[in-house]
Amino acid sequence: MKSAMTSAACCVSLLLAIGPVQAQENHVTAVTGATLIDGTARPHIEDAVILIDGARISQVGPGDAVVVPPGATVIDARGRYVIPGLADMHNHLQSGSMRAQQNLRLGLSRLLAVGVTTVFNPSIGLEDFATLKAAAADEAAPVARFFGTGPIVTVEGDVLGQLVGAPTPRTASEARSVVRELRAAGVDAIKVQRDDASWSIRGRFPLMRPEVLSALVDEAHGAGLKVFAHAPMLAQAKEALRAGVDGLMHGIIDAPVDQEFIDLMTRNRASYVSTMALYHDVANVAAWARRQAPNWDRAALQPPRLYESFTTPAGIERFESIFTNSDGARRGLPVQRSNLKRVFDADIPVVLGTDSGFFGILIGVSTQIELELLVEAGLSPADALRTATVNAARMIGREADFGTIEPGKLADLVILEADPATDIRDVTRVVRTLKGGVAYEPVDPARPLQ
Ligand SMILES: [Zn+2]
């Protein structure tokens, strides 16, 4: 069985690089022999067997308790470690360069190479949103699961919002009709801007009027949609929470979070998306580029030109001519780190997000480094993994489908060479990524195989 899988992998790879290793429908696959970290609070299972029937997990347990049916395709994972597929819940699917017109579908495909099986894009043009939804609709498509908000709902003068055709309602009734239009376009949630941006630029964006924000949240909740706020600064995040938002798409960088903030987050059952990658990037783009370099060498995900564009004096100058308050972001690094831990300790669900695609934040590898940053902030590796698995699924109400490795869930999992619960950097040592029971090799589709 193992040799059959290997030869299939070889042939498919030569053609497609990230094509499925095996893709039979309604066929049983067994992943055997690995140590299973299932994403629940249960202890690890050694020598585990995971049975997959079609796209879903049918049985999980120790090897002596689960029978592998005859005819099953066996993926021999002895000596290896299995974790749930990772989710990056703030990811724009771009490479991280300043180049326009990127291939977002390629980004969605590349994520599988680094173990990311689910992505949430909190600001994307509606045309791209529809294209990616269609690309990801087929369970067997070689792309990560795709969720998103469509364009951010923002204010006039938000230049990043303009790039995705963001609506800018000026009245409560305009806000309500914006929500209805986004809902008709099939978005999974709404994202709203609540940031004067002074943490990253010298100057200030205007803010949405409170009654417009409240109407937006009210209309979205009435339509069964959650609202997530872009609000990296404490006072503005509280304003968004008072209006009823269901989560923050960034950690808080400008000031230590206080009890009022914790109480508002708890009241709203709000998620706290980390984006520590974004803050490291804005604080010091060259240092952040250097930190990502070993990961992308390993994953071979990026053209080397990108590295130069963020480490040469001209590249740094160009970046800092846009984000003119890197000093402010640098001062905020220890603040956002201790905020992350305080929020985690208050039992608020922390969710992994990177803001991948923002200038300098490289798709895929930044997700892996975000896990390291979460551990550096004081989370255990197992807790850091939960921010990218079960907490991510709960944020968008999809915990019945993914986030843990349990019977009934979609078979989204990553086979690793070493134990990420011991050293979180072992998430980079991907052997196979399975999405919906189909196995993918850890290679970039843009990289020719030798
Ligand atoms: Zn973003």
Task: Please tell me the distance between residue 10's alpha carbon and the centre of ligand 1 in angstroms.
Answer: 37
Please state, for a pLDDT cut of 90, what percent of the chain lies above it.
Answer: 72
Please state, in angstroms and rounded to a whole number, the distance separating the CA atoms of residues 90 and 353.
4
Task: Please tell me the distance between residue 85's alpha carbon and the centre of ligand 1 in angstroms.
Answer: 21
Q: Is the pLDDT of residue 302 over 70?
A: no
Residue 333 is encoded by which pair of tokens?
């690094």
Q: pLDDT tens, 216-239?
A: 999 999 999 999 999 999 999 999
* Helix (H) or strand (E) run with residue 148 in it: strand 145-148
Residue 425 gets which letter from DSSP? Answer: G
Q: pLDDT tens, 160-177?
A: 788 888 999 999 999 999
Q: Is the pLDDT of residue 303 over 60?
A: no
Is the CB of residue 436 less than 8 Å from the CB of residue 425? no
Which of the residue ranges 104-108, 225-229, 254-258, 297-301 would you say has the lowest mean pLDDT? Answer: 297-301
Residue 229 gets which letter from DSSP? Answer: E
Q: Is the pLDDT of residue 360 over 80?
A: yes
Task: Please tell me the distance between residue 80's alpha carbon and the centre of ligand 1 in angstroms.
Answer: 34
pTM: 0.91
Q: What are the counts of helices (DSSP H) followed by strands (DSSP E) for the chain?
A: 16, 16
The pairing of beta strand 45-53 with beta strand 247-248: unpaired
The CA–CA distances, whole Å, from 131 to 103, 189, 251, 388, 437 equal: 11, 17, 30, 25, 23
Task: Please tell me the distance between residue 124's alpha carbon and the centre of ligand 1 in angstroms.
Answer: 9
Task: Please tell me the distance between residue 125's alpha carbon and the centre of ligand 1 in angstroms.
Answer: 13
User: Which residue, among 10, 27, 9, has the nearest Cα to 411 in the 3D structure?
Assistant: 27
Task: Please tell me the distance between residue 353's alpha carbon and the centre of ligand 1 in angstroms.
Answer: 9
Residue 193 is encoded by which pair of tokens?
């801007």
Task: Please tell me the distance between residue 119's alpha carbon and the centre of ligand 1 in angstroms.
Answer: 12
| Cross-strand partners of 273 | 351
Task: Please tell me the distance between residue 415's alpha carbon and the centre of ligand 1 in angstroms.
Answer: 29
| Cross-strand partners of 120 | 147
The amino acid present at 65, given as its one-letter code, is A
The CA–CA distances, whole Å, from 97 to 13, 93, 255, 268, 285 equal: 27, 11, 30, 36, 12
Concatenated DSSP letters for 23-71?
A: --TT-EEEEEEEEE--SSSSPPEEEEEEEEETTEEEEEEETTTSPPPTT
Task: Please tell me the distance between residue 60's alpha carbon and the centre of ligand 1 in angstroms.
Answer: 36
Task: Please tell me the distance between residue 196's alpha carbon and the centre of ligand 1 in angstroms.
Answer: 15
To the nearest 10°, the Cα dihedral for 400, 406, 410, 411? 160
Task: Please tell me the distance between residue 444's alpha carbon and the centre of ligand 1 in angstroms.
Answer: 23
Task: Please tell me the distance between residue 377's alpha carbon and the centre of ligand 1 in angstroms.
Answer: 21
What is the pLDDT confidence band of residue 276, given thresholds at 50, 70 and 90?
very high
- Determine the pLDDT at residue 304: 54
